[in-house]
Amino acid sequence: MATLSSPTAQTLLTDVRTQLNQRDPTNSFWTDVELLGYLNDAVSVYFLEAAQANEGYFTTTSDLNIVSGTDTITLPTDCFQVKRVLKKVTDGYVACGYRNEIMTGVSTQGGSNASSFIPSYYFRGNSLVLAPTPQFSETGGIRLEYIQFPDQMIYGGDSMTSQVSPIFKQLIIMYAVYRAKLRESMVNGVNMYQVPADALSGLVPLYRDSLPKRSKGPTYVQPFNPETE
Protein backbone atom coordinates (compact mmCIF):
# COMPACT_ATOMS: atom_id res chain seq x y z
CA MET A 1 0.00 0.00 0.00
CA ALA A 2 1.40 3.39 -0.97
CA THR A 3 2.00 5.95 1.76
CA LEU A 4 1.99 9.74 1.60
CA SER A 5 5.31 11.36 2.40
CA SER A 6 6.14 14.93 3.28
CA PRO A 7 7.54 16.84 0.28
CA THR A 8 11.08 18.13 0.76
CA ALA A 9 12.09 21.73 0.28
CA GLN A 10 13.84 20.70 -2.93
CA THR A 11 10.63 19.12 -4.28
CA LEU A 12 8.59 22.20 -3.42
CA LEU A 13 11.17 24.45 -5.02
CA THR A 14 11.06 22.35 -8.18
CA ASP A 15 7.25 22.60 -8.21
CA VAL A 16 7.43 26.39 -7.88
CA ARG A 17 9.95 26.64 -10.70
CA THR A 18 7.75 24.43 -12.87
CA GLN A 19 4.81 26.79 -12.32
CA LEU A 20 7.03 29.75 -13.16
CA ASN A 21 8.40 27.92 -16.24
CA GLN A 22 11.96 28.65 -15.15
CA ARG A 23 13.27 25.26 -14.12
CA ASP A 24 16.96 26.15 -14.41
CA PRO A 25 18.05 28.22 -11.38
CA THR A 26 21.24 29.31 -13.19
CA ASN A 27 19.17 31.06 -15.84
CA SER A 28 16.28 32.49 -13.90
CA PHE A 29 14.80 35.79 -12.75
CA TRP A 30 14.55 34.32 -9.22
CA THR A 31 17.22 32.68 -7.08
CA ASP A 32 16.56 29.53 -5.09
CA VAL A 33 17.09 31.51 -1.88
CA GLU A 34 14.39 33.99 -2.85
CA LEU A 35 11.86 31.30 -3.74
CA LEU A 36 12.58 29.37 -0.55
CA GLY A 37 11.93 32.60 1.35
CA TYR A 38 8.50 32.84 -0.25
CA LEU A 39 7.75 29.21 0.61
CA ASN A 40 8.73 29.78 4.23
CA ASP A 41 6.62 32.95 4.34
CA ALA A 42 3.66 30.92 3.09
CA VAL A 43 4.16 28.24 5.75
CA SER A 44 4.27 30.94 8.44
CA VAL A 45 1.12 32.69 7.20
CA TYR A 46 -1.06 29.62 6.80
CA PHE A 47 0.39 27.87 9.85
CA LEU A 48 -1.24 30.60 11.95
CA GLU A 49 -4.65 29.80 10.50
CA ALA A 50 -4.17 26.11 11.26
CA ALA A 51 -3.15 26.92 14.83
CA GLN A 52 -6.24 29.07 15.35
CA ALA A 53 -8.51 26.22 14.26
CA ASN A 54 -7.72 24.48 17.60
CA GLU A 55 -7.79 21.01 16.01
CA GLY A 56 -4.37 19.85 17.18
CA TYR A 57 -2.37 20.95 14.13
CA PHE A 58 1.35 21.44 14.91
CA THR A 59 0.67 20.36 18.52
CA THR A 60 3.17 18.36 20.55
CA THR A 61 4.17 17.74 24.18
CA SER A 62 7.36 18.11 26.17
CA ASP A 63 8.14 16.96 29.69
CA LEU A 64 9.95 19.63 31.70
CA ASN A 65 11.92 19.31 34.92
CA ILE A 66 11.06 21.06 38.18
CA VAL A 67 14.06 22.39 40.13
CA SER A 68 13.77 23.07 43.85
CA GLY A 69 13.75 26.77 44.73
CA THR A 70 13.37 27.83 41.08
CA ASP A 71 10.06 29.20 39.82
CA THR A 72 10.99 29.37 36.12
CA ILE A 73 11.26 26.67 33.46
CA THR A 74 12.62 27.56 30.03
CA LEU A 75 10.11 26.94 27.24
CA PRO A 76 11.14 24.78 24.24
CA THR A 77 12.77 26.85 21.50
CA ASP A 78 10.06 25.83 19.01
CA CYS A 79 7.18 26.83 21.30
CA PHE A 80 4.71 29.20 19.64
CA GLN A 81 1.69 28.93 21.92
CA VAL A 82 1.06 26.97 25.11
CA LYS A 83 -2.19 25.01 25.13
CA ARG A 84 -2.00 23.22 28.48
CA VAL A 85 0.35 22.94 31.44
CA LEU A 86 -0.02 19.68 33.36
CA LYS A 87 1.50 18.67 36.70
CA LYS A 88 2.47 15.02 37.16
CA VAL A 89 0.75 13.38 40.12
CA THR A 90 0.66 9.82 41.43
CA ASP A 91 -1.97 8.51 39.03
CA GLY A 92 -1.59 10.81 36.02
CA TYR A 93 -1.57 14.54 35.30
CA VAL A 94 -3.60 17.49 36.62
CA ALA A 95 -4.13 20.69 34.63
CA CYS A 96 -2.56 23.83 36.08
CA GLY A 97 -4.44 27.12 35.93
CA TYR A 98 -3.17 30.14 33.99
CA ARG A 99 -2.96 33.11 36.35
CA ASN A 100 -1.57 36.38 35.04
CA GLU A 101 -2.60 38.87 37.71
CA ILE A 102 0.06 41.53 38.21
CA MET A 103 -1.52 42.81 41.44
CA THR A 104 -1.49 39.41 43.16
CA GLY A 105 1.31 38.27 45.46
CA VAL A 106 3.17 35.01 44.93
CA SER A 107 4.38 32.64 47.62
CA THR A 108 7.97 31.45 47.48
CA GLN A 109 7.13 28.38 49.58
CA GLY A 110 5.38 25.74 47.53
CA GLY A 111 5.79 22.79 49.83
CA SER A 112 7.92 19.74 49.30
CA ASN A 113 5.31 17.14 48.31
CA ALA A 114 5.60 16.52 44.57
CA SER A 115 2.36 14.55 44.33
CA SER A 116 0.19 17.28 45.89
CA PHE A 117 1.85 20.34 44.36
CA ILE A 118 -0.46 21.85 41.69
CA PRO A 119 0.86 25.29 40.73
CA SER A 120 -0.64 28.06 38.66
CA TYR A 121 1.51 29.52 35.90
CA TYR A 122 2.23 32.59 33.83
CA PHE A 123 4.99 33.68 31.43
CA ARG A 124 8.12 35.76 31.83
CA GLY A 125 10.03 36.22 28.61
CA ASN A 126 10.65 32.75 27.18
CA SER A 127 10.06 31.01 30.50
CA LEU A 128 7.14 29.37 32.24
CA VAL A 129 6.75 30.70 35.79
CA LEU A 130 5.28 28.40 38.46
CA ALA A 131 3.49 29.85 41.46
CA PRO A 132 4.15 29.16 44.24
CA THR A 133 7.83 28.34 43.93
CA PRO A 134 8.36 24.56 44.29
CA GLN A 135 10.59 23.34 47.11
CA PHE A 136 11.45 20.00 45.48
CA SER A 137 12.99 18.72 42.27
CA GLU A 138 11.21 16.37 39.91
CA THR A 139 12.26 15.01 36.55
CA GLY A 140 9.44 15.49 34.02
CA GLY A 141 7.21 17.03 36.68
CA ILE A 142 5.58 19.40 34.20
CA ARG A 143 4.09 18.26 30.91
CA LEU A 144 3.74 21.06 28.39
CA GLU A 145 1.29 20.76 25.50
CA TYR A 146 2.05 23.41 22.92
CA ILE A 147 1.88 24.49 19.29
CA GLN A 148 5.22 24.31 17.51
CA PHE A 149 6.65 26.80 15.08
CA PRO A 150 7.01 24.99 11.74
CA ASP A 151 10.59 24.31 10.65
CA GLN A 152 12.18 26.63 8.16
CA MET A 153 12.84 24.81 4.91
CA ILE A 154 16.38 24.62 3.59
CA TYR A 155 17.17 23.55 0.05
CA GLY A 156 17.86 19.82 -0.02
CA GLY A 157 17.16 19.47 3.69
CA ASP A 158 13.96 19.95 5.65
CA SER A 159 10.56 18.55 4.75
CA MET A 160 7.24 20.32 4.86
CA THR A 161 4.93 19.27 7.65
CA SER A 162 2.45 16.48 6.91
CA GLN A 163 0.10 17.52 9.72
CA VAL A 164 -2.19 19.66 7.56
CA SER A 165 -4.45 18.75 4.63
CA PRO A 166 -2.97 18.08 1.17
CA ILE A 167 -4.30 21.49 0.09
CA PHE A 168 -1.58 23.01 2.27
CA LYS A 169 1.10 21.95 -0.23
CA GLN A 170 -0.75 23.46 -3.18
CA LEU A 171 -1.41 26.59 -1.17
CA ILE A 172 2.18 27.38 -0.26
CA ILE A 173 3.40 26.60 -3.78
CA MET A 174 0.91 29.00 -5.30
CA TYR A 175 1.68 31.62 -2.66
CA ALA A 176 5.36 31.42 -3.61
CA VAL A 177 4.48 31.70 -7.32
CA TYR A 178 2.28 34.72 -6.57
CA ARG A 179 5.03 36.46 -4.58
CA ALA A 180 7.58 35.72 -7.31
CA LYS A 181 5.38 37.15 -10.05
CA LEU A 182 4.50 40.12 -7.86
CA ARG A 183 8.18 41.05 -7.56
CA GLU A 184 8.67 40.56 -11.29
CA SER A 185 5.73 42.90 -11.90
CA MET A 186 7.22 45.54 -9.61
CA VAL A 187 10.51 45.37 -11.51
CA ASN A 188 8.99 45.35 -15.01
CA GLY A 189 6.04 47.63 -14.34
CA VAL A 190 3.60 45.11 -15.87
CA ASN A 191 0.94 43.16 -13.96
CA MET A 192 2.10 39.56 -14.18
CA TYR A 193 0.73 38.34 -10.84
CA GLN A 194 -3.02 38.33 -11.46
CA VAL A 195 -3.27 34.72 -12.64
CA PRO A 196 -1.46 33.24 -9.60
CA ALA A 197 -3.36 35.67 -7.36
CA ASP A 198 -6.67 34.30 -8.70
CA ALA A 199 -5.46 30.70 -8.25
CA LEU A 200 -4.37 31.47 -4.71
CA SER A 201 -7.72 33.06 -3.85
CA GLY A 202 -9.44 29.87 -5.01
CA LEU A 203 -7.29 27.63 -2.79
CA VAL A 204 -7.58 29.69 0.41
CA PRO A 205 -11.29 29.00 1.11
CA LEU A 206 -10.79 25.28 0.43
CA TYR A 207 -7.94 25.22 2.92
CA ARG A 208 -9.87 27.17 5.55
CA ASP A 209 -12.89 24.93 5.12
CA SER A 210 -10.77 21.79 5.67
CA LEU A 211 -9.18 22.96 8.94
CA PRO A 212 -12.11 22.46 11.36
CA LYS A 213 -13.07 19.13 9.78
CA ARG A 214 -10.25 16.99 11.10
CA SER A 215 -12.57 14.66 13.00
CA LYS A 216 -15.32 12.58 11.44
CA GLY A 217 -16.94 12.05 14.83
CA PRO A 218 -20.52 13.26 15.35
CA THR A 219 -21.08 16.75 16.72
CA TYR A 220 -24.03 17.48 18.98
CA VAL A 221 -25.60 20.90 19.33
CA GLN A 222 -28.12 21.74 22.05
CA PRO A 223 -31.06 23.79 20.71
CA PHE A 224 -31.34 27.30 22.11
CA ASN A 225 -34.34 27.58 24.44
CA PRO A 226 -34.37 30.75 26.55
CA GLU A 227 -37.35 29.49 28.58
CA THR A 228 -35.14 26.85 30.19
CA GLU A 229 -32.43 29.32 31.17
Q: Which residues pair with 127 in a beta bridge?
A: 74, 124
Q: What is the DSSP letter of 124?
A: E
The domain segmentation of the chain, as residue ranges, is 9-55+151-213, 59-148
CA distance 171 to 141: 40
List the chain pLDDT tens, one digit each, 229 residues: 333 345 788 888 999 999 999 999 999 999 999 999 999 899 888 888 888 888 888 899 999 999 999 999 999 998 999 999 999 998 899 999 999 877 677 766 777 778 889 999 999 999 999 999 999 999 999 999 999 887 665 544 455 666 667 788 899 999 999 999 999 999 999 999 999 999 999 999 999 998 888 777 666 666 777 665 5
| Beta carbons within 10 angstroms of residue 96's beta carbon | 20
pTM above 0.85? no
Q: What is the chain written as a DSSP string? A: -----PPBHHHHHHHHHHHHT---GGG-SS-HHHHHHHHHHHHHHHHHHHHHTTS-TTEEEEEEEE-TT--EEEPPTTEEEEEEEEEEETTEEEEPPB---TTS---S---S-TTT---EEEEETTEEEEESPPSS-EEEEEEEEEEEPPPPP-TTS-B--SSS-THHHHHHHHHHHHHHHHHHHHHHTS---HHHHHHHHHHHHHHHHHGGG---S----PPP-GGG-
